[in-house]
Amino acid sequence: MVQFVMLLIVAGAVTAMVVAFLRSRGKLPQRAAQTGTLYVTGVSPRPEGVGEQFVTLTGNLTGPNVPGAVVYGRFVWGDEPWPAIGDLLRVAYPAGNPNSFQIVGSA
């Protein structure tokens, strides 16, 4: 009986880890996202070169359940204009976790 209970506990733990891994990789749908705006307070300089580049942003995120949170993120940026301090960007983030925001467009 103890072995059966231990097997169930291990199976549950492995299942939880697999689901968390797949969610983080975008293979499973995320929970309903909240939308808000990011006021850019810091941006990395544009690297030399053409095409997609990495940009690091710091800013103040506000949304329906977040009155204002300082967030930081690194993103792939295409040929659109490089962000600047003072820009407002539309973002989506999981409810209760504004640190996991994604940029969805310009505000």
35-50: average pLDDT: 89
For the stretch 49-97, pLDDT in tens is 777 889 999 999 998 888 888 999 999 888 888 899 999 999 998 887 8
Say how far apart CA 102 and CA 1 lie, in whole Å: 47
Q: In degrees rounded to 5, what are phi and psi of residue 92?
A: -125, 145
H or E element, residue 14: helix 2-24
Is residue 43 within 8 A of residue 57, CB to CB? The reply is: yes
Is residue 106 within 8 A of residue 87, CB to CB? The reply is: yes
